Chains A and B, each alone.
Chain A
Amino acid sequence: MSSHREAPAIAKDPVADSTDLYAFVSPDAPDTATLIANYIPLEGPDAGPNFFEFGDDVLYAIYIDNDGDAQPDVTYRFQFTTQIKNPNTFLYNTGPISAINSPNWNRPQFYSVTRVANGAETVLGDHLACPPCNVGPRSTPSYAALALSAIHDLAGSHGKVFAGQRQEGFYVDLGSIFDLGALRPFQNLHLIPLPVMAGVNGTKHLNVHSIALQVPIADLTRDGSSAFSGTVDTKAVIGVWTAAYRRKAIIRGEGDDVESGPWIQVSRLGNPLFNEVIVPMSRKDRWNELPPISDSQFLQYVQHPELAKLLPVLYPGVFPNLAAATGSRDDLVAILLTGIPSGIISGFQNFTGKTLADMLRLNMAIAPSSSPSILGVIGGDAAGFPNGRRVADDVVTIELRAVAGVTYPLVNPGFTPDGAAGLIYDVEDPATNTPPVSYLNSFPYLNHPESGFDIPS
């Protein structure tokens, strides 16, 4: 998956497990950028009575590098606190939750937002309410209105924020892709062939927890300005990543746990699938502990990705050109570790410099597309992945095709991609340009969560 359960250690700590990261110029508010960090993978909508919530013992952060050194220049930190209103019941709610401050919600969660920039910390919001999980029509009637009431303005005209349950917006044929790299629509060509069948969205009807910000573009740039001299303007490009932290020492028992020591990074996410597919299993946990500026040590896995070697083996005779390619995949290095410099793709760049770092790079001078392609840049739409990432972008197909060789000619004109490289997909044929998930047209863009009553597991 994008980054759901992507490493052995964090797979056992879902509350701190970053699953997806999105960054895009807001299509309905183009003077702002939207940043969304998702956590807690594969939430079953009916997972009561203790429904999902953020970790009060986890520090969540979204980082922005705006000068290309892979160090945070702007940081948003989020810390949560949970209350219990009635300690004498096992119930999540003691009646319908018709408003976000309903006394019937027995376990409300609140959070603070702190912005750090230029060495100064500013609390942009405190005791902000999350919405409850979508339990069902009796407990959370009128869920959409309830959830939207949990969008809060941040102090000082620094934008708005939402933190709470959302419908999973990332789609992937999970059951197939990890069954020895099978792509159902092409599995007749697999080393272990099976009849062709339609792809399956393995995350359908699952939820996730989102931390979503919509902030002025000027809040993210190095000079505090949103006036750019075209798409080539280097200060229009930011690198984004999210991370989660736990305290270094935890002593359990004797009532409340005791936590002490500095915050230790346990999860990180920039580009989708980086740690999941690029980094070998023995180093995934370590990768999660490191900041992006340490990523040069993982360069070899980008230059020579394991998946590019596997595809010709798993699909005999389908990828002969890829099988014969032995050079460094500098196209993937650009996409994942440096951004794509000017002159490679006409009218596009999201280069942040030579520092190798897995960051989601967004050129904010590129206006939102009026006719977006879910294939993003490889679909001719410069406003989509890997120029940031929008909620509907088909990142699995994009990265599959890139690894299979469709982007290799950008740096190696002598390479001819195999015919299959530009055709493969896993869930739905992106030629339809119709994602298998529905989204909202406005903030927080990810749709309202599935209800536990309607979607029993």
Chain B
Amino acid sequence: MNVSRRAFLSRGSLGVALAGAAAAVPGLGAVFKLPAPPSAAPPLPATAEPLVAHVRDLASGEVSLMVGTDHVVLRDTSLAARLYGAALAPQSKER
């Protein structure tokens, strides 16, 4: 998955924008000592609106997910760490 850094309006925390659904990023599991992602992912829609993920707090794993006019707040340290790591990974940087 092509994850890029984009400007994301946030208030004093890291914002990460994802186009499409989140996916595993190679190498991050080793960095953050994460468990392997589940092998059976839920089915995804054929077309989807942009999804915005906002890692509000890495330590608690608080992640805001916004799609359409919906807003879901998760507490998932694994997901937060993978997103954060993907944003910091050299191969993901967009100049």
* Residues in A lying within 8 Å of B, measured CB to CB: 247-254, 258, 260-263
Contact = CB atoms under 8 A, between A and B. Distances in A.
A401 B71 CA distance: 46
A55 to B, nearest CB: 16
Interface of B: 6-9, 15, 17, 49-52, 54, 64, 66-71
Contacts of B66: 248-249, 260-262
B70 A261 contact: yes
Given A251-B8, A251-B52, A263-B69, 13 more contacts: A248-B66, A249-B8, A249-B15, A249-B54, A252-B7, A258-B50, A260-B49, A260-B50, A260-B52, A260-B66, A260-B67, A262-B66, A262-B70
Please report whether the interface of chain A is mostly helix, strand, loop or mixed according to DSSP. Answer: strand
Nearest to A254: B6
A251 B69 contact: no
A249 B9 contact: yes
Given A248-B66, A248-B71, A249-B66, A261 B7 contact: no
Nearest to B6: A251
A261 B69 CA distance: 4
A261 B49 CA distance: 11
A248 B15 CA distance: 12
A23 to B, nearest CB: 28
A289 to B, nearest CB: 12
Nearest to A252: B7
Main SS at interface, chain B: strand
Central interface residue in B7, B8, B52, B54, by most chain A CB within 10 Å: B52
A252 B50 CA distance: 13
Contacts of A252: 6-7
A361 B85 CA distance: 53
B20 to A, nearest CB: 12
Contacts of B17: 251, 258
B60 to A, nearest CB: 20
Contacts of A250: 9
Contacts of B15: 249
B5 to A, nearest CB: 11
Contacts of A258: 17, 50, 52
Nearest to A59: B69
A251 B16 CA distance: 10
A262 B6 contact: no
A248 B54 CA distance: 11
B6 A260 contact: no
Nearest to B8: A251
A249 B52 contact: yes
Contacts of A249: 8-9, 15, 52, 54, 66
A253 B7 contact: yes
A254 B66 CA distance: 19
A79 to B, nearest CB: 12
Contacts of B50: 251, 258, 260
A1 B64 CA distance: 37
**Across the A-B interface, the 10 shortest Cβ-Cβ residue pairs:** A261-B66, A249-B52, A260-B66, A260-B52, A258-B50, A261-B71, A262-B71, A262-B69, A249-B66, A251-B17
Contacts of B67: 260-261
B65 to A, nearest CB: 9
Nearest to A263: B69
A310 B6 CA distance: 48
A341 B78 CA distance: 57
B63 to A, nearest CB: 13
A248 B68 CA distance: 10
B17 to A, nearest CB: 5
Contacts of A261: 52, 64, 66-67, 69-71
B51 A260 contact: yes
A443 to B, nearest CB: 33
Contacts of B64: 261
21 contacts: A247-B69, A249-B9, A249-B52, A249-B54, A251-B7, A252-B6, A252-B7, A253-B6, A253-B7, A254-B6, A258-B52, A260-B50, A260-B51, A260-B52, A260-B67, A261-B66, A261-B67, A261-B69, A261-B70, A261-B71, A262-B71
A252 B52 CA distance: 12
A253 to B, nearest CB: 6
A252 B6 CA distance: 8
